Amino acid sequence: MPFIDINDARLHYEVDGQEGAPWLILSNSLGTHLEMWDPQMPALRSRFRVLRYDTRGHGMSAVPEGPYSVEQLGRDVVALMDELGIARAHFCGLSMGGMTGMWLGVHAAERIDRLVLCNTSALIGPAEVWNTRIAKVNSEGMDAIVQAVIDRWFTPAYQQRAPEDVAQVRDMLRQTPADGYTANCAAVRDMDQRADVAHIKAPTLVIAGTHDLATPAKDGKAVADSIPGARYIELDAAHLSNWEQAERFTATLVDFLTQGA
């Protein structure tokens, strides 16, 4: 099981796909781990050299003392690339992973080929909402918020249609260390990249969900409108669009990443 010690954390990661294929880095949402991308992996591993990793504080990665920052999460990706000898890569992140992607697109532009920002926002407020969530998890644990998060992440129709898939994501949330979750909540709370994203030069695709309550589609559209030449796609899904509309999400992602290949 591969781990790398970078910065002040030990990160768990996995590499799939053919050697010599273009690198693609996938970054998970708050409260999940690298298996969040399982619906996409059959298609992606046949075309790309795929690097998935557990964000610090999640999955099998270490939980350094928080709070964290989006800059810290971005620097973890750069350090991971350095250690694995990855000069450049495509990057796809969802929610918090998308926030990490924005930081990379601005501050590590020379390392990013194509950028995909999914169900995300350049600012998620207000701070009081995050402070309340942090306090609740600190006092009652992850179980206290799991169902409320699931109801924001998936439409009622999908929860009824795919209960086993929803259960997998629910388990990811429950398994996330409380300290890691709250430290990452602080990173999301303190982030404001609205002015920065206009400096992204990489070809960019923004994917949003029509029914997303966590990062509404208007927030994704605002990000796309701020990035010169960015494409915008809206799927009939809530927050985890890569699960709720897995087939269309995957086809859209692969089409964008292979343009001109």
At 80 the pLDDT is 97
Could you tell me if 73 and 103 are in contact, meaning their C-beta atoms sit under 8 angstroms apart?
yes
Q: Rounded CA gap, 207 and 75, in Å?
A: 24
At 260 the pLDDT is 62
At 234 the pLDDT is 98
Q: Rounded CA gap, 203 and 230, in Å?
A: 7
Burial 25-57 (b: 16+ CB within 10 A, else e): bbbbbbbbbbbbbebbbeebbebbbbbbbbbbb
At 261 the pLDDT is 55
Cis peptide before 67 (omega within 30 of 0): yes
DSSP 192: B
Q: Which two tokens stand for residue 22?
A: 């273009």
Q: Which residues pair with 234 in a beta bridge?
A: 208
Could you tell me if 188 and 151 are in contact, meaning their C-beta atoms sit under 8 angstroms apart?
no
Give residue limits of the domains in the chain.
3-257
- pLDDT tens track, the chain, 261 positions: 799 999 889 999 999 999 999 999 999 999 999 999 999 999 999 999 999 999 999 999 999 999 999 999 999 999 999 999 999 999 999 999 999 999 999 999 999 999 999 999 999 989 999 999 999 999 999 999 999 999 999 999 999 999 999 999 999 999 999 999 999 999 999 999 999 999 999 999 999 999 999 999 999 999 999 999 999 999 999 999 999 999 999 999 999 999 865
Range 7-12, long-range pairs (CB < 8 A, 24+ positions): 7/72, 7/75, 7/76, 7/79, 8/64, 9/56, 9/61, 9/62, 9/64, 9/76, 10/61, 10/62, 11/53, 11/54, 11/56, 11/61, 11/62, 11/76, 11/80, 12/53, 12/54, 12/59, 12/60, 12/61
The closest alpha carbon to 111, from 125, 100, 127, belongs to 100
At 219 the pLDDT is 97
Answer yes or no: CATH 3.40.50.1820 is held by domain 3-257: yes
> What length is written for the chain?
261
At 183 the pLDDT is 98
pTM as predicted: 0.97
At 125 the pLDDT is 81
Burial 79-112 (b: 16+ CB within 10 A, else e): bbbeebebeebbbbbbbbbbbbbbbbbbbbeebb
Q: Rounded CA gap, 31 and 36, in Å?
A: 10
At 9 the pLDDT is 93
